[in-house]
Amino acid sequence: MKMISGMGKETSEISDHIKLHVENGKILSLKTHRVSKSVEEHIKEAVGLILDRLTHPTLVPTLYTIIKELAINACKANQKRVFFEERGYSMSIPGEYAKGVREYKEMFSEEMSNEFGIKAKKKGYYCLINFNYTDHGITIEVINNTPIAKQEEKAIRERLEKGMVYDDIAQFYMDNADNTEGAGLGLALILIMLKGEGIDPNYFRIIIGEDSTTARLEIPLTKNFTSVRKSKPS
């Protein structure tokens, strides 16, 4: 995947479930339907190549962990959508939503993830990871093209608000062990990791649209970095 230094546009199928797109050496996209070991490796390589080029290699572990977490969440959201569609459950009816989530969690396994990843691909659902970078900073967006239920939106907002007040992930686990799902711990971990790197956690945002959910992370590398939030509403 050494195409990052090239100019122009280039798109290639890396495997059956991941596509790479590079444009002008400043935009790199990875599109997938499930987070396999291969996908993890390509995320890590993309992060490493970009940060090496921008001379910030020490950020690789943190950025890789964050993007992997977001990609897993995005793919699981798509797979859950397929699960609901197959069983005829509505995500907008509280009772059906609760039943569907409960059944999905009880049945979930690695084998199921592979199966529903394939089904998601056939239905046109995907996870798109966009890297847009300059010498002044990096903007990463992890997008999945399925709408989000109102219950999920409320839970995400609450988890982000709660995570903002912690600086220690161990303390967060201790305080929330009984009532926090894995995704909530993941979002809190992201905020805490950013604080540990001296990055303002307000540069991390979840943008919820009618037909998609976008997790956006901006990493300023110089004082000349311009946030997307300053140029358009998020």
Q: What is the pLDDT of residues 6-38, one digit of tens each?
A: 434 555 665 555 566 656 666 688 888 888 888
Comparing CA positions, the residue from 133, 108, 119 lying closest to residue 228 is 133
8 A C-beta contact, residue 138 and residue 218: yes
Comparing CA positions, the residue from 31, 202, 4 lying closest to residue 128 is 31
Q: pLDDT tens digit string along 73-131?
A: 999 999 999 999 999 999 888 899 999 999 998 888 888 888 998 999 999 999 999 99
Specify the pTM. Answer: 0.85
8 A C-beta contact, residue 127 and residue 31: yes
8 A C-beta contact, residue 4 and residue 53: yes
Residue 6 CA: distances (Å) to CA of 10, 23, 27, 51? 9, 8, 11, 16
Comparing CA positions, the residue from 136, 135, 127 lying closest to residue 223 is 136
Contact partners, residue 110, CB within 8 Å, separation at least 6: none
Q: How far apart are CA 183 and CA 185, in angstroms?
A: 5
Q: pLDDT tens digit string along 122-143?
A: 999 999 999 998 889 999 999 9
